[in-house]
Structure 1
Amino acid sequence: MQSVKMSLEEAHALAVRCLMQHGADEENARAVADIVTAAERDLCHSHGLFRIPGYVASLKSGKVNGKARPAVSDLAPSVVQVAGDGGFAPLALEVGRAALVERAKSNGIAALALNDIYHFAALWPETEALAEQGLAAFAFTAAFPYVVAPGGRTPIFGTNPMAFAWPRPGKHPMVFDQASSTMARGEIMIAARDGHSVPYGAGIDRNGKDTTDPKAILDGGAQLAFGGYKGAALAMMVELLVGALIGDKLSFEAKAADNGDGGPPVGGELIIALDPARFGDGAGFAAHADLLFERMLSDDGVRLPGDRRRKAREETARDGIHVQESLSRTLQELIGS
């Protein structure tokens, strides 16, 4: 398959130009481009430049406010809210981060509720940024209804990802990010685009039959939760945390409110940050955690979550990235060149 090579700086500039060409102001475009480029840097193509046409579609349709100005407020001593002003999530996350860090370090634990945002990215950047400031962090968000409940045929849950990061003073944080579905939606979309099959258990077709055809899953079928009812329970938990708890939309409510432009859903995100130094092990938490990590790594073939992404950063910083040729053409068309 043909591809176009570019540096990370070129990818970032291209993303900014696409977004600003279609209604985002410089601050919002830069924030989105930062997240998209981080995904490309980590070789997570399903959340990288692949997402830009969807971002642009939502700007062109008027669904998303490309000039959003998120606003921070306090709901409780350890609960911060960001009203997203109908914009993309990255700028809202930036605006709320400092307050979340301050509350977590003051109180030991704090939460950030983001409302009225459009989230279309990976979750690990927000938790990793907190771990780099010495905090353990969880992040949750929902999507459109793509995933069936156990025994069902009608999608009700989003892919509902969750991320967790653990600080390691003097070392890179341990970070994982996973959907509650067997596969991320973007991975299935890329498989369909490129003509690849997906693993058994990823989804069902419109007749409720298991399939490895990504197009059948996307065209009237549905995705499956990982681990059957166990993953579905986690998907339900995420719906409650980012919908009912913080007063935002459940996945099926987001779908009902959507204009079908192909862009991200409106909804919420919940981030919970903890200061390990404020809990029972005090300053010893890091060495204690490293006992676990060292025991894991002593088994040949085991790696810590996030290590692949960290290794990818070395590669892309040196060699740049490769963008599928058809996607490159689409992006060039979006900037009119």
Structure 2
Amino acid sequence: MTLDEVRDLARRVLAGAGLSADHAAAVAETLVAGERDGCGSHGVYRLLVATRTIATGRVSTDAVPVVREPAQALVRVDGGGGFAQLAFERGKPLLIEKAKAFGIAALALNNVVHFAALWPEVEALTDAGLVALAFTPSHAWVAPAGGTEPVFGTNPIAFGWPRPGRDPFVFDFATSAVARGEIELHRRAGKPVPDDWGYDAEGRSTTDPAEVLAGAMRTFGGHKGSALAAMVELIAGPLIGDRTSRESIAADEGAGASPLGGELILAIDPAGFLGASVAEHLSRAEAMFAAIEGQGARLPGARRYAARRRSLAEGVQVPAALHADLMALTTGDA
């Protein structure tokens, strides 16, 4: 499929599920980005997640995000219970403006539904020449290190660094051992998962993806990933007046919808610290990147950019079974 065909399919599925046009357009772009960049777990597969959430009635399909300025360098957007993508789009211009005016600014998205990747958001800020960080909790699916009962969400962290004339340095990873979508893709394919990805409902290690989805996932890196997951809970939950992952899944009441909560995005203008010497110091960063790649190591994001170049030239391949499921959604046969 071409990327335009993927975009059209995503919009048709979302509109058919009842999502308003502006929300459908914003959500579709995130899914196109996932498919374009070779990240199947965050591509059009997530249409199944989005439509399931819409069907539960746990997301507002026509919410109008409200932008506020609680302080000079702060932006808050109340998403009204809609998907996070449109709330970010509405808050982004003011976040960029404030970061360039004050050197650093923060955007809090409140009362938004999350189900996709964060890297499109931080990359949108690197495109404006800003350094960016993004954090969000989810549902309590992940056990802390040393435990087997869910407390944390997958709690991703994304970071972006602008590289003038080159692809930005961007990473986006869950603090869980793997993204939840990867486990779901294994379940759909009938494939086992590694035994260090999670526990069954009795707290035993398992390679059955369905048992992990019903039990608890693990953090990556033991206590280090667990500490980062706790940090995300705090700064994108209580700090901005929004839900923790445990509160989100409790409010879901078993409906199986995507998480409803908050997201914190930080934007820093290098020129705010460096003034006229910004180019000089960004070139020092390039020396570090060269030292990494010069010894054959890979920069995070390199595979996504390689996949992006292929996708832009050749299109993408969507598994036949998934495509059939998505087409059924457009005809009402799902």
- Equivalents in 1 of 2:53, 2:221: separation in Å? 33
1:87–1:118 CA contact under 8 A, matched in 2 = yes
Query: In the alignment, what sits opposite 1:194?
Result: 189
Sequence identity percentage: 48
Asked if 1:290 is matched to 2:286, the reply is yes
SS at the partner of 1:85? coil
Query: In the alignment, what sits opposite 2:219?
Result: 225
SS at the partner of 1:97? helix
Query: In the alignment, what sits opposite 1:251?
Result: 245
Query: In the alignment, what sits opposite 2:119?
Result: 124
How far did 1:169 drift? Answer: 1.1
Letter in 2 for 1:285: H
Letter in 1 for 2:62: K
RMSD of equivalent CA atoms: 1.3
How many residue pairs get matched? 330
Question: 1:27-38 maps to which residues of 2 (within 5 A)?
Answer: 27-38=22-33
How far did 1:259 drift? Answer: 4.6
TM-score (norm. length: structure 2): 0.96
Query: In the alignment, what sits opposite 2:228?
Result: 234
SS at the partner of 1:94? helix
Query: In the alignment, what sits opposite 1:332?
Result: 327
Q: Deviations over 1:192-222 (max 9, x none)?
A: 1112222342112223222333222113x21
Query: In the alignment, what sits opposite 2:199?
Result: 204
Query: In the alignment, what sits opposite 1:318?
Result: 313
Q: Deviations over 1:117-157 (max 9, x none)?
A: 00111010000110111000000011111111122221000
- Equivalents in 1 of 2:326, 2:208: separation in Å? 27
Query: In the alignment, what sits opposite 1:104?
Result: 99
Letter in 2 for 1:164: F
- Equivalents in 1 of 2:272, 2:186: separation in Å? 45
- Equivalents in 2 of 1:42, 1:283: separation in Å? 29
Query: In the alignment, what sits opposite 1:89?
Result: 84
Q: Deviations over 1:276-299 (max 9, x none)?
A: 111156332210101110111111
- Unpaired runs of 5+ in structure 2? none
- Equivalents in 1 of 2:282, 2:155: separation in Å? 29
Query: In the alignment, what sits opposite 2:298?
Result: 303
2:160–2:168 CA contact under 8 A, matched in 1 = yes
How far did 1:303 drift? Answer: 1.4
Q: 1:203 to 1:243 in 2, by over 3 A?
A: same
TM-score (norm. length: structure 1): 0.95
Query: In the alignment, what sits opposite 2:170?
Result: 175
Question: 1:155-166 maps to which residues of 2 (within 5 A)?
Answer: 155-166=150-161
1:83–1:115 CA contact under 8 A, matched in 2 = yes
- Equivalents in 1 of 2:87, 2:239: separation in Å? 19
Question: 1:59-78 maps to which residues of 2 (within 5 A)?
Answer: 59-78=54-73
1:203–1:224 CA contact under 8 A, matched in 2 = yes
SS at the partner of 2:237? helix
Letter in 1 for 2:98: R
Asked if 1:139 is matched to 2:134, the reply is yes
**Hey, which of these two has a bigger chunk of strand by percent?**
1
- Unpaired runs of 5+ in structure 1? 1-5
- Equivalents in 2 of 1:265, 1:172: separation in Å? 31
- Equivalents in 1 of 2:246, 2:56: separation in Å? 21
How far did 1:242 drift? Answer: 0.9
